[in-house]
Structure 1
Amino acid sequence: MLTGFLSVLQLSDSAFPSGRYTLSSGLETLAQTGRLATPGDPALLSALLGDHLRLAVAPSDGIGLVCAHRATATPDSLDLELVTSADERLTAVKLSREARETSTRTGRALLRVATSTFGARAVSHYARHVQSGRSPGNHAVVLGVVSACLGVPRPESVAGELFAFSANWVAAAVRLAVTDHSTAQAVLHEVRPVMAEAALHVVDKDVPDIASCTPLLDVMAMLHEESELRLFAS
């Protein structure tokens, strides 16, 4: 449905008030340690973003979103056990403190906006569950519930999340002066097939499949926690 497509656009818009613009997902530390040239090599940036999507974002946040979406049968019906299981598993695979904290902070921000704006009972039910401390409230899991309530099909929901991450990632690269706006758009264009393939690969996965394997980026995130000068929250 066209309304579902429009909801994807709204939820993935950088202007949506969830605070994701404060995240660089380890990119800031990569730049600080000299691992990224200035200006950034488009091929290197595309390869780095592509690996991040395939090995981290899609198999962790993507599958968490899928499980939460599957658990939301209707805007009034929610399988809390499945959602919480996915939420807890997603927290467990986020190895750095910053990754865990920023995921739940943006998730709770999304919950606040969704409960006051969209009015779905399933979202409100989950918001109370998170507020009571019975579930972490990771952004991707919240997004899965919200997307299902808004009638967004599962593949489009995952693709929207991967695009939102990618758009924020290249915007961070521009703010860090490792690339320019034109190159950032070229990188986004280049990784479209990776986004599509990754989204379709995880759309039928379940909670035990939630995983992440990006050792370098995990180390960069851990180093970022101790950096004296930080532009981004992660």
Structure 2
Amino acid sequence: MSEPTSDVSQLLFSLQLADSAFPSGLYTMSHGLEGFRQRGLVGPHEVGDLLEDLLRNSIGPADATALARAHDAARGGDLGQIQRVDRRLLATKLNQEMRAASVRSGRQLIRTAGALLDDPIITAYADLLTSRSTPGCQPVVSGICYAAAGVSVERAVAADLFAFASSFTGAALRLRLADHVSAQVILRGIAPTVEEVAAAAVERDIDDIGGFAP
């Protein structure tokens, strides 16, 4: 496992992974928002509320919790436990499109991570993905990457939740459910929810990975 880096370096890595320019494919997803819009279930004034509901009831109990438990396993060098988390998370994604998107993004992420971090767990897990011995869901791969960079599990979970929120508001922009100013207002307003959801995910057990699946 890579040696822990300075706090500033950890912060910069967190910002890098959460950046919309990072080539993981996360920012090309609509996270179900397009379907909500097509069915007339969400308008511009409901985007923030929907995002809050997804964070609390879907992303937090599932993706964020899986990231936290994968982070712990990576720090302990336990590939078997990472695979267990990965398979558990995939099994909770009942929507086929979301399953495929998470795996596609995770595989893109680990390819990029291999060029950024010299870490034996990343290398070993990339080999497992190549052999299709494990799904490679994006939150699990993110947990491995954050652990390799020495980023704390609390910061890692919060950063990934913010990345989801930023990607979600980006989809709202593309679907004309928000403009650039209102998207930033939503992101600012969601901060307390991210803090709350991250704290719960860090404490949640692997057997409790799941949540509401719209």
TM-score class, shorter-chain normalisation, is over 0.9
Question: Which amino acid counterpart does residue 53 of structure 2 have in structure 1?
Answer: D
* Match runs of 1:123-162 below 5 Å: 123-162=122-161
Deviation at 1:104, TM superposition (A): 0.4
Q: Percent identity?
A: 38
2:79–2:121 contact (8 Å) kept in structure 1: no
The reply to whether residue 30 of structure 1 matches residue 29 of structure 2 is: no
* SS across alignment from 1:15: coil
Aligned-partner Cα distance in 1 for 2:56–2:41: 21
TM-score (norm 2): 0.94
Deviation at 1:205, TM superposition (A): 2.1
Deviation at 1:100, TM superposition (A): 0.5
| Aligned residue-pair number | 208
TM-score (norm 1): 0.86
Over the residues paired in the alignment, what is the CA RMSD in angstroms? 1.0
Specify the alignment match of 1:213 in structure 2: 212
Unaligned runs of 5+ in 1: 219-234
Question: Which amino acid counterpart does residue 6 of structure 1 have in structure 2?
Answer: L
Aligned-partner Cα distance in 1 for 2:150–2:97: 32
Question: Which amino acid counterpart does residue 25 of structure 1 have in structure 2?
Answer: H
Aligned-partner Cα distance in 2 for 1:50–1:189: 12
* SS across alignment from 1:95: coil
* Match runs of 1:1-234 below 5 Å: 1-37=7-43, 40-41=44-45, 44-73=46-75, 78-214=77-213, 218=214
- CA deviations 1:45-64 (Å, max 9, x no partner) are 22111110010111101111
- CA deviations 1:96-141 (Å, max 9, x no partner) are 1101100000000000001122121110011111211111000000
- The list of structure 1 runs, each at least 4 consecutive aligned residues, that deviate by more than 2 angstroms after superposition, is none
Aligned-partner Cα distance in 1 for 2:60–2:42: 23
2:47–2:177 contact (8 Å) kept in structure 1: no
Unaligned runs of 5+ in 2: 1-6
* SS across alignment from 1:212: coil
* SS across alignment from 1:203: helix
